[in-house]
Structure 1
Amino acid sequence: MVTFVGESTKFFLTNHQPVDIISDVTLEVEYAIMLINLKQLFAGKVQTLPIDCTLDFSELEYQGNHPFTQPVRVRGEVSVDANVVTLRAVAEFVYDSICDRCLIEIHQPKQASIEHVLVTSLTQEDDGELILVENHQLLLDDLILEDLILSLPSKNLCREDCRGLCMICGKDQSAGLCGCRSDSIDPRLAVLKQLTDQTD
């Protein structure tokens, strides 16, 4: 389910039918897809479109994990200024991952700032940073998801000083040293040591 919050009315969209809302803007929802019609905004008939919605990316698999098991809250607006249409928003989400050192589950609240200039056509001189909005329809899901992926850390740590697992007995070293000799590694944990060495 996608929730869109207007100036005074909240819409809960659960079917596949378009719903007319503020300033002749239309949302279409199908399988958690949010499509925003920006025709009135590009035509200059409205100046600002507020956005407050939740997006479901729980089925996404990224690097062997499901990083967004909880709904992603997106708040911001699409506005026009001097004939330039810009999307500005903040996405609030919980990033679910596995610590690269000790392998425990991590659930980190995060925010991602989103800002894009939207255009209805591109030229050969465009540098690739402009977002093409075909037929005045902005597919918000894909744009937000791309920014979320780019905001994720390259290394997942439960804390900066995580000591990881003992390569001999597998004990979490952050919970206390185990006393194992570092020159005697269990062959079954040798692969894990190689992986942690690479991430470090």
Structure 2
Amino acid sequence: MLMNLTDVLTSEGKVVEKQVDVDIAELNCRLGDFPVIQKTPLTLTLTNLGTNKASIEGKMELTFAMSCDRCLKSVNQKVTLDFMRTVEGPDEYKEDAQDDEQNFMEGYQLNVDGLIKNECFMDLPMKVLCKPDCKGICMKCGKDLNAEACDCDTFVPDPRMARIKDIFDANKEV
């Protein structure tokens, strides 16, 4: 969705408040595809900061369907966006200086969906857990250790001792 910012960028001291329904159904990134389960309307405050310069303040809540990083169960993860960005009109913008900052501006148009996706990428949690003490799944048999324990051997040898183990295995009588 594109929003025209010409009046805000060109009128000194102009402040505009808007509520926008964002058309984002899924967030696609290298971590995976996360469908949006629930979202609130985006509240935007656009403020002129001078000639061809404006600040964009926004607030929104999104709930994504994600997988637990340990046991792979589905988890509803709430992400609260509360951001402030400064944008410049195409006459003032220098492409080499702030290329990452302005990738959601297209001339005098604000790409709202692109802005929201950028903010979501920055606010996604590093680790998603279904509960803080999630035990995960067994590395050998794949059982969910939260539901039941398994009888697999979980001994992991010290990798620093691998060379000594190789010497003993080579001299072992069959």
Above 0.5 in TM-score?
A: yes
Aligned twin of 2:165 = none
- How far apart are the structure 2 equivalents of 1:112 and 1:128? 22
Aligned twin of 1:107 = 76
Aligned twin of 2:21 = 54
User: What whole-Å deviation, never above 9, does each CA across 1:6-32 have from its counterpart, x for those lacking one?
Assistant: xxxxxxxxxxxxxxxxxxxxxxxxxxx
Match of 1:164 among 131, 136, 157: 136
Aligned twin of 1:196 = none
SS in 2 for 1:66: strand
- How far apart are the structure 1 equivalents of 2:12 and 2:40? 30
Please tell me the root mean square deviation across aligned C-alpha atoms, in Å.
2.7
Match of 1:86 among 26, 43, 55: 55
CA positional deviation for 1:128: 4.1
User: What whole-Å deviation, never above 9, does each CA across 1:76-104 have from its counterpart, x for those lacking one?
Assistant: 31112455410011121002211121010
User: What whole-Å deviation, never above 9, does each CA across 1:144-194 have from its counterpart, x for those lacking one?
Assistant: 11111221123322233211012344332223433433249xxxxxxxxxx
Contact 1:58 1:71 in 2 (8 A): no
Q: What code does the residue aligned with 2:88 have?
A: V
Listed as ranges, the gaps of 5+ residues in structure 1 are 1-33, 185-200
- How far apart are the structure 2 equivalents of 1:113 and 1:164? 32
Q: Which structure 2 residues correspond to residues 29-68 of structure 1 after superposition, within 5 A?
A: 34-44=1-11, 47-62=14-29, 63-68=31-36
Q: How many residues align?
A: 151
Q: What code does the residue aligned with 2:14 have?
A: Q
Q: Which structure 2 residues correspond to residues 94-133 of structure 1 after superposition, within 5 A?
A: 94-120=63-89, 121-123=92-94, 126-128=97-99, 130-131=101-102, 133=105
Q: Which has the higher contact order (CA 8 A, sep 6+)?
A: 2
Q: Which structure 2 residues correspond to residues 174-193 of structure 1 after superposition, within 5 A?
A: 174-183=146-155
Contact 1:56 1:70 in 2 (8 A): no
Identity %: 26
TM-score (norm. length: structure 1): 0.63
CA positional deviation for 1:59: 4.3
TM-score (norm. length: structure 2): 0.71
Listed as ranges, the gaps of 5+ residues in structure 2 are 157-174
SS in 2 for 1:143: helix
Q: What code does the residue aligned with 1:98 have?
A: S
- How far apart are the structure 1 equivalents of 2:132 and 2:144? 15
Q: What code does the residue aligned with 2:21 have?
A: T
Match of 1:77 among 4, 25, 45: 45
Contact 1:56 1:71 in 2 (8 A): no
SS in 1 for 2:32: coil
- How far apart are the structure 2 equivalents of 1:108 and 1:59? 13
